[in-house]
Structure 1
Amino acid sequence: MTSSPHEEPRARLLRVLDTLTPWDELERDHLATAARWVADGSPLHRTRKPDVPPTHLVSYFVVLDAAREQLLLAAHRKAGLWLPPGGHVEPDEDPWDTVVRECGEELGIRACASSLTGEFPLFLTVTRTRGPGTHTDVSLWYVLDADARSVTWYDEGEFASVRWLTVDQVLDEPIEGLDPHMHRFTRKLRQRVRR
């Protein structure tokens, strides 16, 4: 049996989801929710900003300067939160290709997959967004390697500012000002780094 063009991206995405080991019960629940969403034939990609369809796929990328043990966070203008950079996965675009595209557009650097994870995500979340046009993002969280000094520009239309924080500084930040899953991701990353 041959697969249709629409089945192949779904099958690829399900394989990506299978690479993830849940950090906690919430990630286990989010992975199950995401797998059901992908398998049931629901639209995966945003077709009209900001909320059509009401659930769509996102690729986040957390830039890690391993030598300094720092992560890059950006003050997202629309969300009003400190988040990793990233963006919506386009139709027929592999989520890793979204990381590559968005990294160039938002930070002006080449995406370099972390040796910790390669071109696979470390984390997955299913989150209802804030503000007008609320929708649900199914977000794959990738890790990139970069020297902090290489990030000399960012998209000021997307972000009010960017800053580098150590893992401990991220965990000391009040969660109300961050992506609601940032502390959980950071703990999972810290465990992976220390292996």
Structure 2
Amino acid sequence: MLNMERVITEIQSVGLYDLVLQDVQNITGKEKPSREEVAKVLKTHPQVLRDYMQTNVEYNLSNIHLKDIDFETLDEACRQKAKRINDNLMLLRDIEKFTLDFEQSSTLVFIFSVEFFVLFSVQYFIVLLDLKAWQWWIYGLFALSIAVAYWYAKKVQKRYKVNKAHYEKVYEETLALIDILEKEACLKKADLYIEASDEHI
């Protein structure tokens, strides 16, 4: 559901995608690749497009470049499918963050941050407060916190996996519904594209 014209424009002109642009420059061997060259790289090197999409998710920007369908103007025959598409688009935007690799998610960073805090607290209590008599209890508490962090990370990782699979299923269903409505002359997919993001400065 990417608007490839928008993707190309953003890669060429939005600073957020400088690393993606550098990949394109390295592949093409040109400092300022043309739109056609960027489009070709995106087709021949899918990792570059994945990096663009990953950047969006990391910065809470959507890879769903479609606006909701104004189904009030549609015929009754098309309206039900259009409503379903809108519901799907809302769901996709909501769970899109789960398409990010769990290993690169902010959740994992948060878990590690808490564990480092606990570790430094343990050292503080034992060394600076001279609680060596309690050190095994304190280390036990630290070990328990590691076990809890591991359990929580596994729980969240499973949630990422389930939601990512659900996202992919709903994504495919939505594309199929849009194709059906386009074939039934209810809408044109090109009219649904969001041309630019409001989030970019």
Q: Which has the higher strand share?
A: 1
**Rg (Cα) greater in structure:** 2
Q: TM-score, normalised by structure 2?
A: 0.24
TM-score (norm 1): 0.25
